[in-house]
Amino acid sequence: MPEHAERELEAAAPAPPAPSLAPAPTGVLALQRSAGNRAVVAMLARDTWSKDYRTRKSRQGLSYEDYKKAIGTKGAEKYAPEIKAASAWGGTPLSPVALTRAELGAIVLYEGTDAAGRAAHEKRLDDYLSFINDSFEAMGIDTVEAQSSFLAHAAESGSFAQMTEQGADKRPYAPFIGRGPIQVTWEAGYIQALAYVELRGEQLEAEAVDLETKTPGSPQAVRKRELAALAKEATTAIKGDIKEAANPKYAFLFSLGAMELTRGVKRSANLKGISSPAFAGNRDEDQWVTNFTESFQDTLDKAPARKAEAEARLKAAEAELAAAPAEDAAGRKAIEKRIKAAQGAIRMQEGAMRDMPSALRGAKVKKGIYERAYKELSKKARPASP
């Protein structure tokens, strides 16, 4: 999940029935997927972690398997909330859940003017539509608000053109740089997002088995099993090679795992009836990505004064260190700690002054995408279940 996305998570109610599922593919598509599945079998037999994973632990220090077991359990609500369909939290249910190519094209626009760029944009939408729809269906992103919120963040950077963070090779979280349409960073972020995707796949397989028991030959069971296989394929691929998190076939599913983890799915229900949220940085539409407690504008406005305060603390601490006796090792160490803290605060405020204008520009883009998505998707809203 995003670098800064550690947050307070609320307790979740028992999961409701999953959203309705589409029938299994037939004809050429079925043959294509069958051939692909044979290749997947070989890959799943190599379900191993790459050497890039050093700890395989969550932010709480839990092993991957222990973290996955904690998801949705009592006492773990703050860091491992329950997986639930968006419609179970609230919001405006959709029918059907899948986007059409026309709907995606009306939501995610090409902002440039050159013909080559437009052609590349259109091809991405053609190529990615099925990946988006499979991911929405698998993770239960079945409301106007949840889909609008996800697409607003996912399509901000050139209509899904950037699936990998640029210029991040020297970041402290490298090689776990941002990957996916909504970028996930840090090893622990990858571990937790993967756990959500893999667990959802296991849930889908269990649901398929239950359906087959009750209704042998159920097309819904076949579809659930297909989505379960996709979730397993995605987690296996990303475990084996972290760069696969940017593979469009898996990237949307991976980012949705993070959206479930960070309460983005749950918080989308609070947007019901809001056709044009502000994307200020600290509200339901975007705090699950930013983890900001104040708006982008406030952060930018306050940064110069905060930097000046940190510079004053640094100057005072440096003077104190210069006057401290050389033999007072403990005292000098404490002062040096304050110096490092002040230096860090200065860098943080410099970063805010550098990055917040871009964040504000991005907020306008997200707002536009959300507004278009809300308008298009509201046309196929269905009444909520009583």
Determine the Cα–Cα distance for residues 195 and 174; give it in Å rounded to an integer.
20
Tell me which of 48-57, 212-221, 239-248, 375-384 is least confident. Answer: 375-384
The pLDDT confidence band at residue 4, using thresholds 50, 70 and 90, is very low
Buried b (16+ CB within 10 A) or exposed e, 335-361: beebbeebeebbeebeebeeebeebbe
Determine the Cα–Cα distance for residues 382 and 102; give it in Å rounded to an integer.
20
Spatial CB neighbours of 47, under 8 Å, sequence gap ≥ 6: 236, 239, 240
The predicted structure's pLDDT at residue 157: 79
Spatial CB neighbours of 199, under 8 Å, sequence gap ≥ 6: 68, 71, 83
Buried b (16+ CB within 10 A) or exposed e, 93-125: bbeebbbeeebbbebbebeeeeeeeeeebeebb
Residues 51-76, mean pLDDT to the nearest whole number: 97
Determine the Cα–Cα distance for residues 2 and 291; give it in Å rounded to an integer.
9
Determine the Cα–Cα distance for residues 352 and 354; give it in Å rounded to an integer.
5
Q: pLDDT digits over 340-359, tens only? A: 999 999 999 999 999 999 99
Determine the Cα–Cα distance for residues 164 and 252; give it in Å rounded to an integer.
13
**Alpha-helical runs (H) found in 179-278:** 187-214, 219-240, 248-261, 264-268
Q: pLDDT digits over 170-196, tens only? A: 999 999 999 999 999 999 999 999 999
Could you give the percent of the chain with pLDDT greater than 90? 84
Residues 248-265, mean pLDDT to the nearest whole number: 98
Determine the Cα–Cα distance for residues 64 and 79; give it in Å rounded to an integer.
13
Determine the Cα–Cα distance for residues 264 and 347; give it in Å rounded to an integer.
29
pTM of the model: 0.84
The predicted structure's pLDDT at residue 158: 78
Residues 248-262, mean pLDDT to the nearest whole number: 98
Average pLDDT of the chain to the nearest whole number: 90
Tell me which of 17-21, 64-68, 96-100 is least confident. Answer: 17-21
- The one-letter amino acid code at 324 reads A
Estimate to the nearest angstrom the gap between the alpha carbon of 55 and the chain centroid.
Answer: 21
Determine the Cα–Cα distance for residues 105 and 65; give it in Å rounded to an integer.
39
Determine the Cα–Cα distance for residues 85 and 287; give it in Å rounded to an integer.
19
- Is pLDDT of 3 > 80? no
